[in-house]
Amino acid sequence: MSAAAVLPAKLDGFVRTEFEDTCRRRFFYGLAFDPYGGTAGLYDMGPTMCYLKSNVLAFWRQHFVLEESMCEVDTTCLTPEEVFKASGHVTRFNDVMVRDTVTGECIRADKFLEEWSETQLAAADLPADRRDALLHLLHDAAGMNPAEIQAVLVREQIKSPKGNPFSEPFPFNLMFKTHIGPEGDRVGYLRPELAQGIILNFKRLLDSGNAQRMPFAGACIGSAFRNEIAPRSALIRVREFTLAEIEHFVNPNDKSHERFDRVRDVEVWAWPRERQAANEEPLRLKIGDAVARKTIDNETLGYFIGRVALFLEAIGVRHYRFRQHQSNEMAHYAQDCWDAELLTSYGWIECVGIADRSAFDLTQHSLASKKDLCAREEYPEPRVERRLQRQLTKGLIGKSFGKRAAEVMEYLNTAPAEACEAILAAHQAGQDATVKLCTGEVVITPAMVSFEYKDVKVTGYNYTPSVIEPSFGIGRILYCLLEQSYWVRRDGDAKNEKRAVFGFAPLVAPQKVAILPLMVKPELMAVVQALRDDLVLHGLSVRVDDSGATIGKKYARVDELGVPFAVTVDFEADGAVTLRERDSASQVRVPRTELVTVLQDLCRTMRPRDWASVQAAYPAQAAAADKE
Amino acid sequence: MSAAAVLPAKLDGFVRTEFEDTCRRRFFYGLAFDPYGGTAGLYDMGPTMCYLKSNVLAFWRQHFVLEESMCEVDTTCLTPEEVFKASGHVTRFNDVMVRDTVTGECIRADKFLEEWSETQLAAADLPADRRDALLHLLHDAAGMNPAEIQAVLVREQIKSPKGNPFSEPFPFNLMFKTHIGPEGDRVGYLRPELAQGIILNFKRLLDSGNAQRMPFAGACIGSAFRNEIAPRSALIRVREFTLAEIEHFVNPNDKSHERFDRVRDVEVWAWPRERQAANEEPLRLKIGDAVARKTIDNETLGYFIGRVALFLEAIGVRHYRFRQHQSNEMAHYAQDCWDAELLTSYGWIECVGIADRSAFDLTQHSLASKKDLCAREEYPEPRVERRLQRQLTKGLIGKSFGKRAAEVMEYLNTAPAEACEAILAAHQAGQDATVKLCTGEVVITPAMVSFEYKDVKVTGYNYTPSVIEPSFGIGRILYCLLEQSYWVRRDGDAKNEKRAVFGFAPLVAPQKVAILPLMVKPELMAVVQALRDDLVLHGLSVRVDDSGATIGKKYARVDELGVPFAVTVDFEADGAVTLRERDSASQVRVPRTELVTVLQDLCRTMRPRDWASVQAAYPAQAAAADKE
C-alpha cells in the first residue's frame, strides 16, 4: 500500500461544473424520469456507470465473498412490519426535521446545523473558544436528539434559510411504507438497510451446511430505500441506492480473526474519536498497532477495516480515511464503529460503515419471534460444571393449581437461579414459598418442587453471536470514484482546449478497449468488426468509434469515458496495430496476433500486467495522432 | 442447436417432495423472514442460488449487452405516479379478483378458472365438444375481463373452493403504493416491470453518444414488484423478483435486423396462435422460415426469439418452447408477442416474454410530459416533397380575437391538411371560413391566413420508434433451471440410497470446483489451502470439504450443490491429483502444475473445453472412490 504523505483537504483543481457537464453530456447519471422533470433523490445510471458498477460489484464478490468464503444471500426489499418493530426501526429510524413555520418547507435539522456551523467557521478572526464550540457543533450535530437541537436553535437564535422561525424539531421516520396482500391490512416497509435480511438467515446459513462452523459471514448486495427529507449532492444523499453488506457472526467471547496477519501491516489514515474531540487531525496508523492499543476495539473489526482499505485501493480510490464514530453517534447497542470516508468536492463522504453491532439484532429477533437464534461452542474437552437441577411434581402442581398449573410449571422451569434459591431457602427453613406470577401470588410447597446443585458434564455452551458489519454504499463509492478519477488534459497542440479524462483503473474501467479505425472504408471496417468480435468473445468490453472524426477527437471521446486502452487500426503491412494507454497517451505497436493476449493481461482482475512492461516489450510509436 | 425429437409433456421421474427437500436442506431458497414464519410471495435465495443467479446474469450481460452493444441503464424501483398514469398501469395493471362471500378469501379469477378447467378435463369419457370448450376456457382464461369471467362462473355454476358463492369479479391493481418525500403528498409506486425506466431514457441514450444511431437497444437488470393476489408455486408467482429487460428501439417502417442471418437457421419449438386455437400441438420451426411466412411478425422479433433460444441452451435449459400470445391476451397496443415457456413440475411456465410494444409507451410519455421523444431518419439523398405552407397574419388575428388569438393561431399552425384545405376552398370561393375550436366557433377571413402547396427540400423525417421488448423473469428461469437440472443417482454400491445431483453446466454452476482432502492431516491441509488460494486467485469459485466424512459422502455433498468438478488431494508421489467430473463420475489424474489451466479451460464462459478432451489427454483413474 502506497503511503500518502499528507491527507489532502480537498480535490486539487476540481471544477464541479465542468465535471458535471461531462457526466451529463455522456449520461453517466441523471435524474430519473427525466422527461417528467425528474424526482428529487432518484437517479438513473447510464451505460458507462452501469459497467463501472457491475465491475466494482464483481470485484467486491471476488475480494470478499469468494476470497473469504462468505455465504451470499439474496433477500427481499419488501419487509413485514414485525421485523422492523423488533429491530427498532419503526420507532427509532428517524431523522430530526424542522419546518419553516411560514413556507412549510421541511428541513433536515442535523445537516442544516452542520452547514450553519461551517458558514460561521468561515468568518475571519473568530475567538479560539468560539471556534472550538463551532467545531464541536459541526462534529456533534449528527448525533443530536430533538431537544438538543432545539437548545442550539434557541441559543444561537437560528432562523430558516428564508429568515423565518422554525417549528420545534421533531422525528421523521425514513422508511417507505406500503401494504402487502390483496386485503391491504398487512403493513410492510422497504428496507433501509440489508442487515436484517441477512441476520434473519443466520440459522439457515449455520445449519444448511453452507457454513456449519463459527465464525462465518453472510453477505448481500441489493437495493435499499430511505425517504430522505432533503435529497441532494448528486448521488450522495438519495432515496434509493445499492448497498453491499457483510454480517460477520462471531462468538462475543472471542473476536480474534484467523487471518488477521494478512492486514496487520496495512497502514491507513485513521481519525479516532479522541482526536476528533480534541479537534486534532487524522493520523497514519497500522491496523496491527491500532488493535493492540485498543484504538480499534477488536481483531475482527480491524481485519475488516484493513480489507476495506485494500478493496478501496484496488478499485482506484485515491483519498480516503477511517473516522471512528463518537459515542453519541453510534446506535446504543453498537460497541465500536468506523466509517471509511472518501474525499469529494462536497467534503469527506461516509461510504463504508464498519460497525460492531454486538448481539443486539439476533437477540431482538429471538425475543420477538420466540425462535432460538443461537450458535454453540463445543469445548475441546467436556467440562464438569455445577448446575441447578429442578425436579417438578407435575401431578401435584396440576391438582393444586388447575388452569394456572401451566403458568406455575413454566415459572419453576425457567426462573433464574436466585429465585430458585429463595424458594429452596424457604423450604429448607420448613416453610412454603410464596412467588408472584403475572396472574397473582401462588404458594409453592416443598412437595411440588426440589432444587439441587449437581456436578454435570458439559460439552459446550450456547450463545447469541455478535455481528460485525461492513456496509458499503455502492452508489456513493461510485460517485466518489468518479470525482477522484476525473482530470483535465491540457497538453498537445490544442492547449486551449480542455479535455476531460476519467482515469479509471483497468479493473473497474467501464469499457476496456476502444477500437478506432483511421478511415471509414469497407475493407478496414471488416478488420475492425473481426477484432471487435474477437475481443468480445474473450470477455473484453469494447467500444468502436467508426465515425468520420479525427483520431485526436476519437481519443478525446473515449478518454472522457475512461476507456484505458485504444487500438487504432489502419492498412499497415506489418500486421501490427497501434495500442495507446489513456493516462500517458503513450503508444506501442503490437502484432495483431498478440493483441488479445496483451489486452487480457492488462485488464485481468488478479495481478494485471502493467503498462511499463508492455512498453518494454513492444516498439514505441510517436504519439502524433493525439495532435490531429 | 440439438434438435429435440419430441417435446416432453412432463419432467421424467421428477419427485417434487424429494427435490424440495434437497433445496430446503441445502438452503437453495426459502421463505423470507423465516423466524417470523415467512411472508407469502417473498423468498430469499441462499449461497448456492446466489452464485447461480450472478453467473446467469453475468452471461446475460455477455450474451446480450456486450455482444449486441446494448446500452445498459440502472433505473429506480420507486416511480412517481405520473409515469404509470401515462403508461396506463394505474388504470389497467390489474388482475381480476373474486371473493368468497362467506370466508372473505380473495382469489385470482383467471388462475382459478384454469385450474378448474384442468380438473374438469381430467374426467374420463368427456364428449369431444365439451373437451374442446374446456380447452378453450383453459387457454382463454388469462385474457378475460370481469364480465367474461362472470359469464363463465354463472354458466358453469362455479363455487369457491370452500363451496360458497363468489362475489362479482372485480379488478385489483397489482402495484405497491407508497408516498415519496417528507410532506407525504407525492404518490409513488414500486415498478411492476423495468420497461418504463428504460423507455424514459430513450432520448438521453440516443443523444449522449452512447448510441446515436437507430436502431439500438437499452437494457436493464433490477427488481420489480407485484402485489400478487395469491402467491404460490415456489419461486414462480412471487411478489418481488428480478427482471432483465431489453427495449430495442426501431423505426416502425423498417423492422429488419442487421444480424438476422445469425439466427436464420436456429430451430425452436413454436406454438403459433392458430395451432393453439385449433387445440394442436407446438411444432418445430426455423426462425428464418417463421419470419418469411409471417408466423413471427418481423425480423427483429424473430432475431430476439433466436437469441433467447441460444441463451437458454447455453445456460443449460433443456425443455422450452415459444408460445405466441392470443389476440385477447396481448396488451391492446402490442403487435405480436411470444413467450419462452420452460417445463417444470407445475407445467409450462412463462419465463421470457418477447413483445413488439409498438410506439405505445413513447407516444404516451411524449403526450403526458409534452416532450419530444422522437428519432430522426435522414434520407440518403434530400428529397423534394410537396408540402402545405401556412402564412398567418398575426397582427390581424390578435386584433380580431383578443384573448382567444393564441388558440386560433395554434389551430391554424397545427390543423391537419384536410382542415386547411377546407378553409382554403372557402376562401377561394370568396367566403369566410368557420371553424370550431374548444371555446366555440370562430370566423377566419382570407386576410388572416394563406395556404399554399410548395415543393420543399426534405432531408429526412422524425418518427416515434417502435419498441421490441425481450423481458426475462430471472427468478423463474433460475427455478426452472433447478428443476430441469435435478436428477437422482442410483448407481454405485449404495443402490438403495438416492443421491440428488444438480447437473448445472460449468458456465452457470454456483461453485466450479470442490477440493476434497482424502484425510484431515495438517500437511495435507496446507496443500489444500494453497490449491484453494491459487484457484480463487484465478477467479474460480471453490468449495473445500475438510470434514472427516468418507470421500463418497463428500462427492454426494458437492453433487447436491451442482459442483461440476472435484479434486481429491492425497499424498501421491507423482505430483498429480484426481479430477472428477460430476455427471459421469469419471476421473482422471492431472499433474498439479496443469490443474489450474485445465479447470479454467473447462469453466470459461466462451467455448469451454469439454470433458471428453480432458479424458483423452490424461490417464483415467478407477472411480472406486465413489463406492466408499
Give CA–CA dist B396/B406, Å, rounded. 12
Q: Is A512 on the interface with B (CB under 8 A)?
A: no
Choice between A83 and B491, residue whose per-residue pLDDT is larger: A83
Residues of A with CB below 8 A from B208's CB?
25-27, 46
Residue B185 has pLDDT above 80, yes or no: no
pLDDT mean across residues, chain A: 91
Residue B1 has pLDDT above 50, yes or no: no
The DSSP code for A61 is I
Helix (H), strand (E), coil (C) string for B115-131: HHHHHHHCCCCCCHHHH
Percent helix, strand and coil across chain A, each to the nearest 5:
35, 30, 35
Give CA–CA dist A401/B422, Å, rounded. 100
Residues 6+ apart with CB under 8 A from B115: none
Complete DSSP assignment for B25-38: HTTSEEETTGGGT-
Continuous segment of H or E residues that includes residue B271: strand B267-271
Domains of chain A: 16-76+191-360+467-473 (3.30.930.10), 94-173 (3.30.40.230), 381-461 (3.30.720.200), 511-617 (3.40.50.800)
Residue A108 has pLDDT above 60, yes or no: yes
Band of pLDDT at residue B494, cut at 50, 70 and 90: low
Band of pLDDT at residue B587, cut at 50, 70 and 90: very high
Percent helix, strand and coil across chain B, each to the nearest 5:
35, 30, 35
Continuous segment of H or E residues that includes residue B435: strand B433-437
pLDDT mean across residues, chain B: 91
pLDDT, tens digit, for every residue of A258-289?
A: 999 999 999 999 999 999 988 899 999 999 99
Mean pLDDT of B286-290: 97
How close A73 comes to chain B (CA, Å)? 5
Nearest to A483 by CA among A282, A319, A271: A319
To the nearest 10 degrees (0 to 180), the angle between helices A109-121 and A128-140 is: 160
Strands A542-544 and A513-517: parallel
Mutate to test the interface with A, among B33, B167, B213, B242 (most CBs of A within 10 A): B33
Residues of A with CB below 8 A from B177's CB?
178-179
Q: Is A176 on the interface with B (CB under 8 A)?
A: yes
**The pLDDT value given to residue B3:** 46
pLDDT, tens digit, for every residue of A69-87?
A: 999 999 999 999 999 999 9
Under a CB-based contact definition with an 8 Å cutoff, are residues A600 and A538 in contact?
A: yes
**The pLDDT value given to residue B547:** 87
Percent of chain A whose pLDDT exceeds 90: 74
Residues of A with CB below 8 A from B362's CB?
none
Band of pLDDT at residue B418, cut at 50, 70 and 90: confident
CB contact under 8 A, A74 and B27: no
Nearest to B302 by CA among B333, B279, B270: B270
Band of pLDDT at residue A68, cut at 50, 70 and 90: very high
Q: Which three cell numbers stand for residue A491?
A: 497538453
Tell me, what's the ipTM?
A: 0.89
Nearest to B177 by CA among B193, B191, B197, B196: B191
pLDDT, tens digit, for every residue of B84-124?
A: 999 999 998 999 999 999 988 889 999 899 999 999 999 88
Mutate to test the interface with B, among A36, A62, A71 (most CBs of B within 10 A): A36
User: Looking at the partner chain, which of B61, B208, B536 has a beta carbon nearest the beta carbon of A54?
Assistant: B61
Mean pLDDT of B76-90: 95
Band of pLDDT at residue A627, cut at 50, 70 and 90: very low
> Which residue does chain B place closest to A72, by CA atoms?
B47
Please provide the size of chain B in residues: 628
Q: Is A380 on the interface with B (CB under 8 A)?
A: no
Q: Which three cell numbers stand for residue A171?
A: 422525528
Band of pLDDT at residue B212, cut at 50, 70 and 90: low
Under a CB-based contact definition with an 8 Å cutoff, are residues B287 and B322 in contact?
A: no
User: Looking at the partner chain, which of A36, A46, A53 has a beta carbon nearest the beta carbon of B82?
Assistant: A36
Complete DSSP assignment for B93-117: -EEEEEEBTTT--EEEHHHHHHHHH
* First-residue to last-residue Cα distance in chain A: 39
CB contact under 8 A, A205 and B80: no
Continuous segment of H or E residues that includes residue A458: strand A449-463
Tell which phi-psi region holds residue B283, choosing left (phi > 0), alpha (psi between -120 and 50) or beta: beta
**The pLDDT value given to residue A493:** 56
> Which residue does chain A place closest to B173, by CA atoms?
A182
Residues of B with CB below 8 A from A239's CB?
78, 180
Q: What is the pTM of this model?
A: 0.90
Q: Is A50 on the interface with B (CB under 8 A)?
A: yes
Mean pLDDT of A110-134: 90
Under a CB-based contact definition with an 8 Å cutoff, are residues B181 and A40 in contact?
A: yes
Helix (H), strand (E), coil (C) string for A69-99: CCEECECCCEEEHHHHHHCCHHHHCEEEEEE
Under a CB-based contact definition with an 8 Å cutoff, are residues A95 and A161 in contact?
A: no
Q: Which three cell numbers stand for residue B544?
A: 473445500
**The pLDDT value given to residue B627:** 43
**The pLDDT value given to residue A492:** 57
Residues 6+ apart with CB under 8 A from B408: B397, B401, B437, B442, B444
CB contact under 8 A, B182 and A227: yes
Q: Is B103 on the interface with A (CB under 8 A)?
A: no
Q: Is A226 on the interface with B (CB under 8 A)?
A: no
CB contact under 8 A, B201 and A44: yes
Give CA–CA dist A142/A110, Å, rounded. 5
R_g over Cα of chain A: 31
How close A575 comes to chain B (CA, Å)? 25
R_g over Cα of chain B: 31
Under a CB-based contact definition with an 8 Å cutoff, are residues B438 and B409 in contact?
A: no
**The pLDDT value given to residue A462:** 93
**Residue the block writes with cell 363455487:** B159
Mean pLDDT of A372-390: 91
Band of pLDDT at residue B495, cut at 50, 70 and 90: low
Residue B628 has pLDDT above 50, yes or no: no
Give CA–CA dist A426/A437, Å, rounded. 17
Tell which phi-psi region holds residue B430, choosing left (phi > 0), alpha (psi between -120 and 50) or beta: left
Q: Is A204 on the interface with B (CB under 8 A)?
A: yes
Give CA–CA dist A408/A414, Å, rounded. 10
Residue B134 has pLDDT above 50, yes or no: yes
Q: Is B431 on the interface with A (CB under 8 A)?
A: no
Q: Is B119 on the interface with A (CB under 8 A)?
A: no
Under a CB-based contact definition with an 8 Å cutoff, are residues B87 and B189 in contact?
A: no
Could you tell me where the beta strands, DSSP code E, fall in B104-239? 106-108, 170-173, 177-180, 186-190, 216-225
**The pLDDT value given to residue B625:** 45
Mean pLDDT of A310-339: 91
**The pLDDT value given to residue B622:** 79
Residues 6+ apart with CB under 8 A from B31: B37, B38, B39, B42, B43, B44
Residue B410: strand, helix, or coil: helix
Give CA–CA dist B156/B178, Å, rounded. 40
- Contact pairs from chain A to chain B, CB under 8 Å: 231
Choice between B49 and B231, residue whose per-residue pLDDT is larger: B49
**The pLDDT value given to residue B371:** 93
Tell me which of A144-148, A211-215, B75-79, B448-452 is least confident. Answer: A211-215
Q: CA angle at residue A242 from A364 to A231, to 5 degrees? A: 95
Band of pLDDT at residue A628, cut at 50, 70 and 90: very low
**The pLDDT value given to residue A104:** 85
**The pLDDT value given to residue A230:** 83
Give CA–CA dist A363/A545, Å, rounded. 58
Complete DSSP assignment for A540-592: --EEE--SS--HHHHHHHHHTTT--EEEEE---TTSEEEEEETTT--EEEEEH
pLDDT, tens digit, for every residue of B364-394?
A: 999 999 999 999 999 999 999 888 889 999 9
Nearest to B516 by CA among B565, B572, B594, B569: B569
Range with top average pLDDT, A419-428, B176-185, B249-258, B396-405: B249-258
Residue A1 has pLDDT above 50, yes or no: no
Reported as half-sphere exposure (CB side, CA atoms, 13 A), residue B272 has a value of 14
Residue A2 has pLDDT above 50, yes or no: no
pLDDT, tens digit, for every residue of B530-564?
A: 999 999 888 899 999 988 889 999 999 999 999 99
Give CA–CA dist B520/A64, Å, rounded. 26
What phi and psi values does residue B450 have, to the nearest 5 degrees?
Answer: -125, 140
A409: amino acid identity, one letter: M
Complete DSSP assignment for A209-265: TSS-SSSEEEEEEEEEE---SS-BTTTTB-SEEEEEEEEEEE-TT----TTGGGTTT
What phi and psi values does residue A508 have, to the nearest 5 degrees?
Answer: -110, -5
Give CA–CA dist A537/B217, Å, rounded. 20
Give how far the C-alpha of residue A537 lies from the chain's centroid of Cα atoms, to the nearest Å: 34
